[in-house]
Structure 1
Amino acid sequence: MIGVIGIVIIFAMVFGGYLAAGGTMTIIMKSLPFEMMIIGGAAVGAFMISNDSSAVKHTVRDMRKVFRGPKWKPEDYRDLLCLLFSLIRIAKANPVEVEHHIEDPENSSLFSAYPKIKADKEAVDLICDTMRSASMNYDDPHQVEEVLDKRMEANFHRAMHPSHALQTVADGLPALGIVAAVLGVIKTMSSIDQPPEVLGKLIGGALVGTFLGVFLAYGLVGPFAGKLKAVVEEDNHFYQLIKEVLVANMHNHNAAMCIEVGRQNTPTHNRPGFTELEEALKQLKQAAA
């Protein structure tokens, strides 16, 4: 919602200020379709040249994040800590029993209790693969942490690609605006024998290209890229939390201590309160009993 409000403010302030200063939209509206065709078409073409088909689809799909915001909310962090607590507790009490959950998470009662987490393949794979490694005696916490860091860095780099791709487009839009403006000047020069009032309109139309390139770059595409980057960075904390808790488990801390390590490493605005989490864990213990 805040993204939509931001777009409305941009258009209202830019064009509202222009009109309030005595400007007219006639020349802009007349030139806009052609300038947009040149600038927007060139930008889309350059974007497709510099990215493969999967990256293009990834970027288009991720555009929704600008308006939806981060995927993981405070209650999801609480649910994740509860899920990890249940898994660690079972693994310490009965290693054989936990294998059912990590080998077949689709039919696991623990994962099914948290459908949003279960639906995220990366989160489930990260949990199951790490706990499976521990059950296979690959339990050196430092080696496991190194492996997780490399895996998460690769995933993070892939998730950041749409933001980088959009920022590249934003960086090129002002130059494409100049291209459109130059073409407008060429068109104007071919009509140099026309009276000043005609030349004025032609020059104004050419300058629309410069305006449009800069406006799109810094008013829309650049902010979209920045928002995507912020959302990806925010969501990455969720996967970092999984790593922190499971590595703490490999240091042979008890389940409650592992969860507290995770809670302390949760970003402040998403961190569940100690009492809130303690109550949620108490309910899990009662349900298990």
Structure 2
Amino acid sequence: MFQILGVLVVFGMVFGGFMLAGGHFDIIVKALPFELMMIGGAAVGAFLIGNSGKTISKTLKDFSKLISGPKWKASDYRDLLALLFQLTKTMKTKGVIALESHIEKPHESTIFSKYPKILKDHFAVDFICDTLRMMTMNLEDPHQVEDAMEKQLEKHHHEEMGPANALQNMADALPALGIVAAVLGIIKTMGAIDSPPVVLGAKIGSALVGTFLGVFLAYGLVGPMSVRLKNVYEEEAIFYRIIQNVLVAHLHGNAAQISVEIGRGHVPSEFQPSFIELEEALSAAPAE
């Protein structure tokens, strides 16, 4: 919602200020379609040249996150802590053998199936299962496991940041593309150098629309979109970081209750359940 409001404020303040200062829109309106075709088309073309099909597809898919924000909500963090509590408690009380069926076939697991949204996230499920599998293979050094998890998180985060980086590259290129369009406009103007000053003034004004448009799109729209996506990805990454915190705490020999309490402390403040709320969520979790 704030993103839509922000776009309206940007357009309203820029063009409203131009109008109140006595500016006329006739030259801008006349030049805008052609300048937008050159600048926007070149930016999209450069975006296609510079990015893989996977990044292009993910960028288009993740545009909705500009408004909707991170996919994980308060209830999802509670579900994650409850899931990890049940898994670590099962491992402590029933042993490794009882856990194997859950981590080898999580989509058939009676524990994972209680949390369908988490189950749909392939990385979260694989991250949990791969780490627990390492533990069942007697890799019980917390530092080794934490290091292996850290590398997985770094790889995943790097891949997730692709769209934000691609949009930032586009934002960086737009001012230069605006200059390209402006230079083409000056070339057109020089071809009519013998025209009256009124005609030349209109042509120069039309050329400068290109410079304006490139800078305006870069710093008023595309750049902020990149920042917004980056912030969304950063917040979503906290969800996976909590998995690491809980499982490493479990490896250090803590009880399941203590491990998830450590994880609770890393939940973003706006989504963080209180101690009592977490206790109630764990108590309400269906028995296996």
Scaled by the length of structure 2, what TM-score is found? 0.96
Q: Which letter maps to 1:78?
A: R
Return the alpha-carbon distance in structure 1 between the equivalents of residues 80 and 201 of structure 2: 63
Q: Which letter maps to 1:164?
A: N
Q: Which moved more, 1:103-112 or 1:207-216?
A: 103-112
Task: Name the residue aligned to 2:287.
Answer: 288
Task: Name the residue aligned to 1:213.
Answer: 214
The yes-or-no answer on 1:259 pairing with 2:257 is no
Q: Which letter maps to 2:189?
A: T
Structure 2 alignment gaps of length 5 or more: none
Return the alpha-carbon distance in structure 1 between the equivalents of residues 104 and 2 of structure 2: 41
The yes-or-no answer on 1:80 pairing with 2:80 is yes
Residue correspondence of structure 1 range 106-185 to structure 2 within 5 A: 106-185=107-186
The yes-or-no answer on 1:104 pairing with 2:105 is yes
Return the alpha-carbon distance in structure 2 between the equivalents of residues 216 and 268 of structure 1: 34
Return the alpha-carbon distance in structure 1 between the equivalents of residues 177 and 262 of structure 2: 50
Task: Name the residue aligned to 1:35.
Answer: 35
Return the alpha-carbon distance in structure 2 between the equivalents of residues 283 and 223 of structure 1: 42
Q: Percent identity?
A: 55
The yes-or-no answer on 1:278 pairing with 2:285 is no
Cα distance, 1:263 vs structure 2: 0.7
Task: Name the residue aligned to 1:48.
Answer: 48
Scaled by the length of structure 1, what TM-score is found? 0.96
Cα distance, 1:148 vs structure 2: 0.4
Task: Name the residue aligned to 1:17.
Answer: 17
Return the alpha-carbon distance in structure 2 between the equivalents of residues 55 and 234 of structure 1: 20
Deviation readout 1:237-282 (Å, 9 max, x if unpaired): 0000000001111111110010111011222222111111011112
Cα distance, 1:139 vs structure 2: 1.6
Detail structure 1 runs of 4+ shifted over 3 Å in the superposition: none
Return the alpha-carbon distance in structure 1 between the equivalents of residues 176 and 109 of structure 2: 54
Cα distance, 1:75 vs structure 2: 1.5
Return the alpha-carbon distance in structure 2 between the equivalents of residues 29 and 108 of structure 1: 60
Q: How many pairs are equivalent? A: 287
Q: Which letter maps to 1:118?
A: L
